[in-house]
Amino acid sequence: MTFQNEVKQYLVEHLAGQQSLIGEQVVSAIRSSGEILSSERLTDQQLIDHFPRLFADLIEYFLSEVDPGTRKRTIEAALNHGMTRWQQGYELVEVIRELAIVERSILDHGIEKFFEENSQWVKSIDIARRNLDSFFEDSVAGSVQRYVENYTEQLQSANTQLLIANENMSRIDESRLRLIRTVSHELANVLNALTITISLITTGNDEAIRSEMLDSCQRNVREMGELLTELKDYSLLISGAASVQIEEINVRVFASEIKSSFHAMMQEAGVHFDLHIEPNLDVIRSDRRKTRQIITNLLTNAINYCGREKPNKTIVLEFRRDRDCWQISVEDSGIGIPQEQLGSIFDEFKRVSEVVKGAGLGLAITKRLVEELKGTIEVVSEIGQGSRFVVTIPDTR
Ligand code: ADP
């Protein structure tokens, strides 16, 4: 059964004429219902922002008698409306309740009133009610669809976050396992060497050998101590216990203190140590302890991996300015690092060369320290030729 054209025409005119009255009615019904708490955050205008579009679609609905194109447009409008309410923090149930209030109000003031005033057409009231019902079914369907899509998106993103968190946790577990393995391996080596040495000391009676053995004991105990210090430093760094304390540092004084502290080690390793400071770099602003530790770690590696047997071994420590940053570089003429390992040497417990003892933590600590100073660290290296580590720190002046 369809509308007579005349009824249709008068009804839609009546509906259009009632838009603002229905708007007021809807606002007061929503406010007094007490069931749509999210509406309290919205202004009256926001509550009926979608009315012009809703009425245009509803009228279209009546005129076209629910043709598929009109239904599609209604669902699209409801998708948009659903999105707006979603962004305004509405629960899905609140959107549905609100739509029910709008429908009730249109039924009371738009449709029933019209047929009361035009009782000659009252037989058509059922068609009008059915059209209205089906219009609101489509509206609810569109809004629900939007919420389902948004929930799905949220779920997917929560799922991705979970996967990332999971991966991070397995990385942490893996890194803990590696830590336990490395520490127990290193400690077992040192203890093993100590046990053998001590048993030699206690059984042998040659004084010269005893003194050599005691030296070896001391060396082993020192190595154990170094490993423990490195682990302690690292645990402090990971826990974020030492905050960054920026101060002005006189580069020349700072650099020459470092140079003197390395003098004996450089001599012992037979390395020529050069210090370059760019003339226009007098003062830097940084955390003194952290900067010193970065340089100490890089210089220690440069000595450790200088290639004991190589002639003309040199290490250069340089301070320079680079636009709005300052840089420290440590360059050596040592054994170099294979290209394929350059990406992983900053990982915890990563060791490439076994020429000296170590836990593989030095560069991981260095990188963390550099990051605490908001800087970056890069390395270039060539096997047999040497390596250059460059630390770039933004100038905070
Ligand atoms: P460790 O020295 O305890 O092994 P690091 O984290 O300091 O740990 O260094 C990781 C690895 O990077 C070292 O095992 C070494 O193979 C390589 N490496 C670091 N610095 C240099 C360097 N200056 N020259 C050559 N290899 C280096």
The pLDDT tens digits of the residues spanning 265-322 come to 899 999 999 999 999 899 999 999 899 999 999 999 999 999 988 899 999 999 999 8
Q: Is 359 in the pocket of ligand 1 (CB under 6 A)?
A: yes
Per-residue tokens: 374: 């908001």
Which residue has the least CA distance to atom 21 on ligand 1? 301
- pLDDT band, residue 214 (cuts 50/70/90): confident
Read off the amino acid at residue 114.
F
Please tell me if the CB atom of residue 380 comes closer than 6 angstroms to any atom of ligand 1.
no
Is the predicted pLDDT of residue 323 greater than 60, yes or no? yes
Q: What pLDDT was estimated at residue 138?
A: 93
What is the length of the chain?
A: 397
In sequence order, the 6+-apart residues with CB closer than 8 A to the CB of 285 are: 246, 247, 248, 249, 395, 396, 397
- Residue 101 CA to residue 95 CA, distance in Å, equals 10
pLDDT at 109 over 80: yes
**Looking at ligand 1, which residue's alpha carbon is closest to its atom 1?**
360
- Whole-prediction pTM value? 0.55
Between CA 86 and CA 146 the distance in angstroms is 9
Kindly tell me if the per-residue pLDDT of 153 is higher than 90: yes
Is the CB of 299 within 6 Å of ligand 1? no
Nearest residue to 396 (alpha-carbon basis) of 291, 316, 297, 295? 291
d(CA 357, CA 223): 8
For residue 13, report the distance from its CA to the centre of ligand 1, in Å.
84
What does the pLDDT read at residue 116?
A: 95
Alpha-carbon distance values, 371 to 321, 327, 361, 382, 395 (Å): 18, 14, 15, 25, 14
**Ligand 1 center from residue 298 Cα (angstroms):** 9
241 pLDDT tier (thresholds 50, 70, 90): low
Long-range Cβ contact pairs of 97-102 (< 8 A, separation 24 or more): 97/33, 97/35, 97/36, 98/30, 98/36, 98/39, 99/136, 99/139, 99/140, 99/143, 100/136, 101/26, 101/29, 101/30, 101/33, 102/22, 102/26, 102/54, 102/136
Backbone angles phi, psi at 296, to 5 degrees: -60, -45
pLDDT tens-digit profile of 279-295?
Answer: 989 999 999 989 999 99
| CB of 301 sitting under 6 A from ligand 1 | yes
Nearest atom in ligand 1 to the alpha carbon of residue 332 is 23
17-36 b/e with 16+ CB inside 10 Å = b?
Answer: ebbeebbebbbebbeeeeeb
Q: How far apart are CA 35 and CA 37, in angstroms?
A: 6
Question: 126 pLDDT exceeds 90?
Answer: yes
Q: Identity (one letter) of the amino acid at 198?
A: I
Confidence of residue 335 (pLDDT cuts 50, 70, 90): very high
pLDDT digits (tens, 9 = 90+) for 43-56: 999 999 999 999 99
Question: Ligand 1: distance of its center to the CA of 294 in Å?
Answer: 14
Amino acid code (one letter) for 100: A
Side-chain-facing half-sphere of 200: CA atoms under 13 Å: 18
% of residues, the chain, pLDDT over 90: 64
The alpha carbon dihedral of 29, 32, 34, 39 has a sign of: positive
pLDDT at 348: 78
362 lines ligand 1 (CB under 6 A): yes
Separation of CA 289 from chain center: 28
Indicate the pLDDT class of residue 1, thresholds 50, 70 and 90.
low
Rounded to the nearest angstrom, the gap between the alpha carbon of residue 49 and the centroid of all alpha carbons in its chain is 37
